[in-house]
A and B are shown apart, each in its own frame.
Chain A
């Protein structure tokens, strides 16, 4: 057996004798399994519930009685964001964003009822998911098991003996890293088994799953090397432990909290209330629909009359009020898009600033990789919001078109007792309004989105490897 293998075997034997280490290891494995099971059942429950809500909303929409189309525009529609299967591994921002949305004419509502506002304060302590266990807890276990690997030998004087026997510093280092690396594999394995369970789930995506597996493997390898590295550089094992705990606390807990605060302060968002006011102001500048002499609407009216070759709206073959509704929706919708894009641009800048902190903490890079591949990052949420707005526009315009074609202008403007009934159109129309079908990101899109995070984690890993190579080489020199 090679020297590396012997050293690794010795180190593992020592770990096995350490009862505290064994208990900690067992606890982490149990915790991973609990996280995987609860996270998966949670994802299933959420998916089922949202599908059921969606079904209820569709039925309610189709079951409407005969109505004026504009009533249906305001009755609106509810849609729910489906949760991708990989959210069982890393739910990302899902709990922090609303997942239901009310769509209606000339208003853009927020996505409401996110879990974060329906849960106790505990949700801010983090969520027990496989991703959380691997990101936050697994490195700590590696620290506990490995901090003494080389520092202990140095403290006891056995390091000098080993090196004097002709074992090179690099081999010694490699052996210790191999032992801890094997532990890391067993730490990551339960989560990967949970992951494989999700893979059996139809609709799971092989590409993003591979990126996640690769990313977390790199993350655990990174910590394995950091632990051995610090153990090799520091004189006493107590100091190695404290140094590693400090690195962990700063890198995994502190910086990921500071980064978003800096980003939020640097690029504050415009509030929804201000956006609402601004949209109303812009609309008034485009044209005042309440003013009969408004130039914009007068020009629109003239254009419609010319198009049909008539001189009065009453003579049009279609309902002018419907055409007006279509034009109005086009205006408001254009503004919604403009302001939403501006807000998302700011949010993207915020996220970019936050991701920049990955230079200080690879945990930020890993989280980016993980949520991007699972489709549960800001981009994933935006995907839903964009599709929701597009769908809103489609159904509202379909209904406005119905008002133009199926309700006569005379009926629409009548105010007599029977007018209300004449304005209504048959309920069979509601059935024909398309249903909302969310298009999830493709495997390729998710993989591409996860690449920047993967590069960050890989860069940290490579830098650590280089540091290990240097430190291991000096192990011998420093003793002489």
Chain B
């Protein structure tokens, strides 16, 4: 009889092992379903804001077109931006539950708009999401431990160990058993993920990377389990030792490191940045308007040769001081961002030592749901916002009337300035 088939039969007869494998497959499948549902919801939200937004703009256009005032159009019109989830986002929802994936901006100061949050229930966000990355990072190791800890000790405790060891090719027996258990654990995780990826039409390359990541992570835990299981202790001691390893690697060290990283890399609070920007913007009302205009023209000479400011209020001054306000805090903006990136980089470096952290970070990177993806979305908003400014400035600085048809001429998000087009994001 084929020894592998024999082992397979033995494994299938162990009710405990079969139940564990089925449970893991079930949890993985449930997490994939939950992730897919969340991503579908996010796509629907992005979809459904478009007509609402169009109605909103139409209502503004209705009264602005009577006065044909570009300043009012620029001041009152909000423009939507969105960050469509990638087709693998379902596997690791990352920060998409706490950072906004839709945000509307207008041509005023961007630094006062960019950090706005989304409405979410913090009590739901606190425990973390039930997604595939959770099942893989936290739960899968427990199943590895359950199936591997007594590979040797169970035979010893059943009194068969000496007999099995004396068999020719006895060593192969353990590797066959370990390999078989590993294979089933892998299948329990990979098949649900693969199904989800097929359903959301994920591209092959990042998917293959995730499948490899699952194998490597499982292999790590299997090696740890084998290393402990071979020491000749009894089953209970093995299980307790492995559970302690799991506890330290997935809960204790990450939470300790979090404290260390946040203390070691202080992030100049975003609050300071917005306070400074507000001061800069509002000061414009208390200094000569020409001072503001000169500062603005210094950075944007293309608008210099336009009509001078009239005696009374003019919108172009208003928008100019908003932009000058943004530019006056550009150093702080850079420092703030670098602080965030440094914290993230530290966590990622830690991932090389703490596999759970490394896998979590890698999954979120591949799924494009991590901080990098969030910052990339902010960059796209910045680029789009700059297009919006240019669009309105043409009317403002040249005193062109803003007509109803001009509302449709405003740049839309996600066209030319979206580097994500043609990449593996859905939508």
Contact = CB atoms under 8 A, between A and B. Distances in A.
A424 to B, nearest CB: 9
Given A112-B115, A272-B119, A76 B278 contact: yes
A102 interface: yes
A70 B116 CA distance: 23
State which size class the interface on B falls in: 35 or more
A245 B251 CA distance: 15
Majority DSSP secondary structure for residues of A touching B:
helix
A265 B35 CA distance: 11
Interface in B6-60: 27, 30, 34, 37-38, 41, 45, 48-49, 52-53, 55-56, 59
20 contacts: A34-B256, A57-B275, A78-B271, A96-B125, A113-B115, A117-B95, A117-B98, A120-B261, A121-B364, A125-B251, A144-B244, A147-B236, A254-B27, A260-B127, A263-B124, A273-B103, A288-B63, A350-B121, A351-B121, A378-B121
A276 B364 CA distance: 30
A128 B258 contact: yes
A258 B80 CA distance: 32
Interface string A45-59: 000010001001100
B404 to A, nearest CB: 15
A92 B127 CA distance: 10
A270 B254 contact: no
Contacts of A24: 244
B117 interface: yes
Nearest to A340: B119
Interface stretch (A132-140, A297-305, A388-396, A431-439): A132-140
A171 interface: no
Contacts of A126: 128, 251, 254-255
A242 B142 CA distance: 10
Interface string B107-134: 0000010011111111111111110001
Contacts of B327: none
Interface in B202-234: 234
Nearest to B134: A257
A98 B117 contact: yes
B117 A114 contact: yes
B305 interface: no
A238 B150 contact: yes
Nearest to B16: A242
Interface string A100-142: 1010000001111111111111111111100010001100100
Given A116-B95, A119-B262, A140-B243, 19 more contacts: A53-B275, A78-B274, A93-B125, A96-B126, A97-B122, A102-B274, A113-B115, A113-B269, A114-B117, A118-B269, A120-B346, A120-B347, A121-B361, A122-B258, A245-B239, A281-B59, A290-B63, A350-B121, A350-B123
Given A120-B371, A264-B124, A277-B56, A125 B115 contact: no
A253 interface: yes
A38 interface: yes
B285 A71 contact: yes
A108 to B, nearest CB: 11
Interface in A242-290: 242, 245, 249, 253-254, 256-261, 263-265, 268-277, 280-281, 284, 288, 290
A291 interface: yes
Given A60-B275, A238-B239, A273-B104, A260 B261 contact: no
A137 B118 CA distance: 32
A245 B238 CA distance: 13
B174 interface: no
A123 B251 CA distance: 11
B59 A260 contact: no
B115 A268 contact: no
A415 to B, nearest CB: 4
A163 interface: no
A241 interface: yes
The 7 closest A-B pairs by CB, nearest first: A120-B347, A93-B122, A125-B254, A260-B124, A122-B258, A128-B255, A96-B122
B252 interface: yes
Interface in A145-171: 147-148
Nearest to B112: A102
A211 B387 CA distance: 56
Interface residues of A, number: 101
Interface string B257-272: 1110110000101110
B31 to A, nearest CB: 9
Nearest to A99: B271
Interface string B303-334: 00000000111000000000000000000000
Nearest to A91: B126
B32 to A, nearest CB: 12
B250 interface: yes
B360 interface: yes
Contacts of B356: 125
A140 B77 CA distance: 56
Given A102-B274, A112-B270, A137 B127 contact: no
B190 interface: no
Contacts of B41: 265, 268
A208 B125 CA distance: 24
Residue of A76, A118, A120, A371 with highest tally of chain B CB at under 10 A: A120
A185 interface: no
Contacts of A264: 38, 121, 124
A276 B102 CA distance: 12
B243 A144 contact: yes
A347 interface: yes
Given A102-B112, A265-B38, A271-B49, A128 B271 contact: no
B201 interface: no
A467 to B, nearest CB: 23
